[in-house]
């Protein structure tokens, strides 16, 4: 939390009310080095005994820039959401909707959905949970400001990008209100341009054969196996056996209507995957090579199996998503979130438990491309791409309401959000932009504290 002394907080509020005539809705950024060091240590230390080298990689990745630091510290963001002012545009119906939870530029990407459509969409749901819809918007808005500054945009231009992101979010919500259009809505090559369209086209040009060649080889016996590299490491026989045994519960976690024959899931090889992501570094991540539709090696499939823990959103909103909804299984929670917010979800999405550790599984798809924010080298490119991001987040929120599971979210989210903002779109955008400006500055302070601690050899995990 922001640790201003109590008297200072009172003085600021009194000044705002008496002199300015309204309560302060922002919080000045400041240095909080000891607290940051403790937050990073407490969050990462539980994984230090299993993959310390991955945590070392995480620290180095986070040290690259404020944006990279922000990517790796969603837990700090939600610690702050506990204490920072709420939004004037949240009511009972919009305080507990499905959130992606870690909304930032690099959790978007190009992908092929289960119906063969090449689309631009959200690519990560590790932090999926219920909370106020504005948290996804706030987190994305801050990431836009940090990335835009890194790319050389002025503050005014970056704020315009955030406002465009919010405009397209609200406009698309208004389009969805009173219809079921959100259930079939997608961003594809026919309704995008610029960097996003290029990404979709790149996704469409990918092939399974090239993808398999990147990670696997055919041995002298004609079997396809994983390559062993610095990022793909062999397992102990005990771990290998435990994972293959856990496949049966994974298969059971898939709805019977989407389940393939058992032969599809036959495990051919497994590797520990190192170095992927930022925030999740330190958790186990495995790649599983499975048989796929036929016994031919050309259609083999790679599953990504990722260790899951409590959503960081739950730090700020404990109990909004009762654990009974996901059978107290964090892999099941992520699976639910992905199904709630994606259209034509990967039929290989599922979950299992290995050695009392929760895992989420999905296909490591040949047809997925990460979004590279460094390509947004001008204001026009940024405006264009983040306009599409606003539509994606609106779609995420709109399709995950009562249309998905009314026992979890009983409202029409597109109606409720459109109504709660109403004609006050300018005030709404100002609120989000002002929050993002203040919080982006706080991230820069926190990043400086982190880099200083890292350089001083402070134990951070």
Among residues 421, 412, 372, 404, the alpha carbon closest in space to that of 195 is found at: 372
Q: According to the model, what pLDDT value does residue 78 have?
A: 98
At 27 the pLDDT is: 72
Is the pLDDT reported for residue 265 higher than 50? yes
How does the average pLDDT of the chain come out, rounded? 94
Residue 120: is its pLDDT beyond 80? yes
**Residue 103 in contact with residue 279, Cβ under 8 Å?**
no
CB contact at 8 A, 417 and 397: yes
Q: How many residues does the chain have?
A: 461
Q: Are 123 and 112 in contact (CB under 8 A)?
A: no
- Mean pLDDT on 83-97: 97
pLDDT band at 217 (very low <50, low <70, confident <90, very high): very high
Residues 133 and 168 sit within 8 Å (Cβ to Cβ)? no
pLDDT at 345 over 70: yes
Whether 350 contacts 168, CB under 8 Å: no
If pLDDT is split at 50, 70 and 90, which confidence band does 415 have?
very high
Q: Is the pLDDT of residue 272 over 80?
A: yes
| Of 1, 31, 164, nearest in space to 447 by CA | 31
In 291-373, where do the E strands start and end? 301-307, 350-354, 357-363, 368-370
Which of 19-23, 169-173, 386-390 has the lowest average pLDDT? 19-23
Maximal CA-CA distance, the chain: 81
pTM: 0.93
Nearest to 195 by CA among 396, 392, 390, 373: 373
Q: Of 375, 342, 374, which is closest to residue 198 (Cα–Cα)?
A: 375
State whether residue 110 is helix, strand or coil: strand
Quote the tokens at residue 310.
């409590």
Per-residue confidence at 173, pLDDT binned at 50, 70, 90? very high
Residue with tokens 């490591």: 364
Q: How far is CA 436 from the centre of its chain?
A: 18
On the question of pLDDT at 179 being above 70, the answer is yes
Report yes or no: 202 and 375 within 8 Å, Cβ to Cβ: no
Show the tokens assigned to 59. Answer: 């620290």
Percentage of the chain exceeding pLDDT 90: 94
Q: What is the mean pLDDT of residues 126-139?
A: 98
Q: Report pLDDT for 28.
A: 84
Rounded CA-CA distance 215/197 in Å is 27
Catalogue the E-assigned strands of 364-433.
368-370
Structure confidence at residue 406 (pLDDT): 97
- pLDDT of residue 19 exceeding 70, the answer is no
Band of residue 7 on the pLDDT scale cut at 50, 70, 90: very low
CA–CA separation, 407 vs 401, rounded Å?
9
Quick one: pLDDT band at residue 5, thresholds 50, 70, 90?
very low
**Contacts of 6-15 spanning 24+ positions with Cβ under 8 A:** none
Name which of 230, 202, 225, 207 is nearest 215 in CA terms: 225
In whole angstroms, what is the distance from residue 128 CA to residue 135 CA? Answer: 12
Q: How far apart are the C-alpha atoms of 351 and 362, rounded to whole Å? A: 9
pLDDT for the residue numbered 3? 35
Contact predicate 66/146, CB 8 Å: yes
26 pLDDT tier (thresholds 50, 70, 90)? low
Q: What is the mean pLDDT of residues 154-164?
A: 98
Average pLDDT over residues 235-248: 98
Strand stretches in 172-290, DSSP E:
216-218, 224-226, 232-233, 267-273, 285-290
- Whether the predicted pLDDT of 239 surpasses 80: yes
Over residues 288-339, the pLDDT tens digits come to: 999 999 999 999 999 999 999 999 999 999 999 999 999 999 999 999 999 9
């Amino acid at each position: 939390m922001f640790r201003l002394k109590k008297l200072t907080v009172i003085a600021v509020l009194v000044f705002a009310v008496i002199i300015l005539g309204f309560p302060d809705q922002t919080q000045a950024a400041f240095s909080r080095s000891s607290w940051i060091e403790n937050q990073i240590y407490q969050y990462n230390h539980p994984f230090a005994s299993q993959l310390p080298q991955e945590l070392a990689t995480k620290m180095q990745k986070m040290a690259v820039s404020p944006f990279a630091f922000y990517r790796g510290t969603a837990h700090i963001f939600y610690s702050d959401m506990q204490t920072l002012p709420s939004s004037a545009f949240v009511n009972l119906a919009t305080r507990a909707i499905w959130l992606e939870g870690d909304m930032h530029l690099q959790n978007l990407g190009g992908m092929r959905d289960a119906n063969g459509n090449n689309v631009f969409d959200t690519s990560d749901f590790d932090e999926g949970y219920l909370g106020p819809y504005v948290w996804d918007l706030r987190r994305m808005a801050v990431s836009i400001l940090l990335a835009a500054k890194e790319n050389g945009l002025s503050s005014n231009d970056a704020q315009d990008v955030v406002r465009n992101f919010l405009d397209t979010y609200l406009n698309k919500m208004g389009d969805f209100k009173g219809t079921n259009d959100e259930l079939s809505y997608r961003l594809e090559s026919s309704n995008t341009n610029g960097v996003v369209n290029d990404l979709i086209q790149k996704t469409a040009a990918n092939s399974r054969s090239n993808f398999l060649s990147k990670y696997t080889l055919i041995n002298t016996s004609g079997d396809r196996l994983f390559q062993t590299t610095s990022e793909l490491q062999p397992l102990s026989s005990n771990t290998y056996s435990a994972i293959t045994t856990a496949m049966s519960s994974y298969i059971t976690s898939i709805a019977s209507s989407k389940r393939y024959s058992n032969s599809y899931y036959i495990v051919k090889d497994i590797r520990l995957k190192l170095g992927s992501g930022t925030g999740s570094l330190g958790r186990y991540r495995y790649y599983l090579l499975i048989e796929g539709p036929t016994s031919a090696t050309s259609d083999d499939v790679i599953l990504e199996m990722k260790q899951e823990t409590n959503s960081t959103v739950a730090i700020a909103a404990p109990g909004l998503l009762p654990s009974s909804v996901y059978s107290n299984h964090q892999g099941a929670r992520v699976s639910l979130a992905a199904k709630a917010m994606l259209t034509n979800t990967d039929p290989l999405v599922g979950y299992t438990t290995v050695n009392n550790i929760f895992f989420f599984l999905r296909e490591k798809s040949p047809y997925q491309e990460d979004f590279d924010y460094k390509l947004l080298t001008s204001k026009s490119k940024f405006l264009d791409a983040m306009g599409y991001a606003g539509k994606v987040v609106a779609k995420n929120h709109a399709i995950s309401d009562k249309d998905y599971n009314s026992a979890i979210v009983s409202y029409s989210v597109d109606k409720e959000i459109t109504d709660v903002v109403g004609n006050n779109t300018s005030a709404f955008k100002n609120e989000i932009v002002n929050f993002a400006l203040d919080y982006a500055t706080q991230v820069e302070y926190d990043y400086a504290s982190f880099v200083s601690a890292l350089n001083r050899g402070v134990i951070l995990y």
